Structure 1
Amino acid sequence: MREISITSVDEGQRLDKYLAKFMPEAPKSFFYKMMRKKNIVLNGKKAAGMEKLAAGDVVKLFLADDTIDKFRGIAGAEKQYISKADTTSKKQRVKLDIIFEDEDILVVNKPVDMLSQKADKNDISLVEHITWYLESQKDNEDKEFQGFKPGICNRLDRNTSGLIVAGKSIKGLQSMNELFRERKLKKYYLCIVKGKITKFKRIDGYLTKNENHNTVTISDKMSEGAHRIITEYEPLGQGMFQDGYYTLLKVHLVTGKSHQIRAHLKSIGHPIIGDSKYGYKDVYKIFRKEFGLRHQLLHAWRLKLGNDEKVPEKYRDKVFEAALPDEFLNILKGIGIDNRDFCK
Structure 2
Amino acid sequence: MDKNENDQRIDRFLKKYLAKAPQGTIYKFLRKKRIKLNNKKAKPEDMIFEGDTIKFYLADETLDSFIPDMEIVKGSVKLDIIYEDENIILINKPKGILSHPVNKDYGDNIVDSMVSYLIAKGDYVPRIEKTFTPSICNRLDRNTSGIIIGAKNYEALKDINEAIKNRDIKKYYKCMVKGRVDKDILLGGYLLKNEEKNKVKIYSEEMEGTKEVKTSIKVLDKNNDFSLLEIDLITGRTHQIRAHLSSIGHPIVGDGKYGDGKINEFFKKKYRLESQFLHAYKICFNGLTKLDYLNGREFEAMSPAIFYNIEKEWF
Q: Is residue 138 of structure 1 aligned with residue 123 of structure 2?
A: yes
* Structure 1 residue matching 2:27: 3-state secondary structure: helix
Q: Is residue 114 of structure 1 aligned with residue 92 of structure 2?
A: no
Residues 1:123 and 1:188: Cα distance change in structure 2 (over 3 Å): same
Provide the C-alpha distance between the structure 2 equivalents of 1:313 and 1:13, rounded to a whole number of angstroms.
21
Task: Tell whether the 8 Å contact from 1:111 to 1:162 is kept in structure 2 after alignment.
Answer: yes
Provide the C-alpha distance between the structure 2 equivalents of 1:211 and 1:164, rounded to a whole number of angstroms.
25
Q: Is residue 327 of structure 1 aligned with residue 310 of structure 2?
A: no
How far apart are residue 227 of structure 1 and its match? 2.7
* Structure 2 residue matching 1:20: 3-state secondary structure: helix
Task: Tell whether the 8 Å contact from 1:184 to 1:311 is kept in structure 2 after alignment.
Answer: no
Task: Tell whether the 8 Å contact from 2:115 to 2:124 is kept in structure 1 after alignment.
Answer: no
Q: Is residue 295 of structure 1 aligned with residue 275 of structure 2?
A: yes
In the superposition, the TM-score normalised over structure 2's length comes to 0.87
Provide the C-alpha distance between the structure 1 equivalents of 2:26 and 2:247, rounded to a whole number of angstroms.
53
How far apart are residue 176 of structure 1 and its match? 1.8
Deviates more, 1:175-184 or 1:123-132: 123-132
Residues 1:102 and 1:192: Cα distance change in structure 2 (over 3 Å): same
Task: Tell whether the 8 Å contact from 1:191 to 1:249 is kept in structure 2 after alignment.
Answer: yes
Equivalent of residue 193 in structure 1, options 173, 177, 182 = 177
* Structure 1 residue matching 2:209: 3-state secondary structure: coil
Provide the C-alpha distance between the structure 2 equivalents of 1:52 and 1:101, rounded to a whole number of angstroms.
30
List aligned pairs for 1:47-196, cutoff 5 A. 47-74=42-69, 89-90=73-74, 92-120=75-103, 123-124=106-107, 125-136=109-120, 137-138=122-123, 140-143=125-128, 145-196=129-180
How far apart are residue 319 of structure 1 and its match? 1.7
How far apart are residue 146 of structure 1 and its match? 1.9
* Structure 2 residue matching 1:188: 3-state secondary structure: strand
* Structure 2 residue matching 1:18: 3-state secondary structure: helix
Q: Is residue 17 of structure 1 aligned with residue 12 of structure 2?
A: yes
Q: Which residue of 2 aligns with 1:79?
A: none
Provide the C-alpha distance between the structure 1 equivalents of 2:170 and 2:285, rounded to a whole number of angstroms.
6
User: 1:9-30 CA distances to partner (integer Å, 9 max, x unpaired)?
Assistant: 2211222222222232222223
User: 1:132-190 CA distances to partner (integer Å, 9 max, x unpaired)?
Assistant: 333332375443x3211333322211111112223333322222222222212222100
Residues 1:140 and 1:336: Cα distance change in structure 2 (over 3 Å): closer
Q: Is residue 313 of structure 1 aligned with residue 256 of structure 2?
A: no
How far apart are residue 280 of structure 1 and its match? 0.5
Provide the C-alpha distance between the structure 1 equivalents of 2:115 and 2:137, rounded to a whole number of angstroms.
14
* Structure 1 residue matching 2:306: 3-state secondary structure: helix
Provide the C-alpha distance between the structure 2 equivalents of 1:121 and 1:46, rounded to a whole number of angstroms.
44
Provide the C-alpha distance between the structure 1 equivalents of 2:189 and 2:29, rounded to a whole number of angstroms.
53
Q: Which runs of 5+ in 2 are unaligned?
A: none
Residues 1:168 and 1:50: Cα distance change in structure 2 (over 3 Å): farther
Cα RMSD (Å) of the superposition?
2.7
Q: Tell me how many residue pairs correspond in the alignment.
A: 313
Q: Which residue of 1 aligns with 2:229?
A: 249
User: 1:36-57 CA distances to partner (integer Å, 9 max, x unpaired)?
Assistant: 4444332333323322221222
